[in-house]
Chains A and B, each alone.
Chain A
Amino acid sequence: QLRLQESGPGLVKPSETLSLTCTVSGDSINRTNDYWGWIRQPPGKGLEWIGSIHYTGTTYYSPSLKSRVTISVDTSKNQFSLSLSSVTAADTAVYYCAENYYYMAVWGKGTTVTVSS
């Protein structure tokens, strides 16, 4: 059974870089047809897609976040990671990773990241 688990700091200072990792278990991240995505949800608000990556390294990013986002993959560890630079309070959210075959088939439980000094 495919499972995803987010990890990383729960508190990030303004202007710094948010870094999260998603560990995939139950199957290989080297799945030809799948991408692996990051989605976030600010407190009390809806879902926002951040970006996705294929195990080959091909990435797609949301145009609204593209200048600040980098998603990378480490196939040896069955992990993929999110970096979001120059964060502000508006980046405070629950961050989810997901198996992304166009739709988000399997989700991690999410991790809360607060941007505050």
Chain B
Amino acid sequence: EIEMTQSPVTLSVSPGGRATLSCRASQSVNRNSAWYQQKPGQAPRLLFYGASIRATGIPGRFSASGSGTEFTLTISSLQSEDSAIYYCQQYDNWPPYTFGQGTKLEIK
């Protein structure tokens, strides 16, 4: 089973700033990774798949990159609405699909 490890656990950034979230896979997953955003009381929402392909409706200030074992989600021009928990997921070697433990992003 591939383990996905996210860092940091919590990130606090000022409005208008930039946040960089990391995800590391325990073995190569090529580019078969995805990112999700989950706001309190809501279901997760797909942000990116294929490591860097933006899902429908996701603003351009969200970007993602990486391959192999290292992946990055970057959010620029941070807004209060970006406060959420962000999860990465691998789908290269399954079952099972596995998720990271999440990074909580606070805007303040």
Contacts and interface: CB of A to CB of B under 8 A. Distances in A.
Interface of chain B, main secondary structure: loop
B13 interface: no
Interface in A70-103: 96, 102-103
B55 A102 contact: no
Interface residues of B, number: 23
A107 B37 CA distance: 12
Interface of chain A, main secondary structure: strand
Contact of A104 (B32, B46, B98, B100): B46
Nearest to B32: A102
B66 interface: no
A16 B55 CA distance: 39
Interface stretch (A7-15, A24-32, A46-54): A46-54
Interface of B: 1, 32, 34, 36, 42-46, 49, 55, 87, 89, 91, 94-102
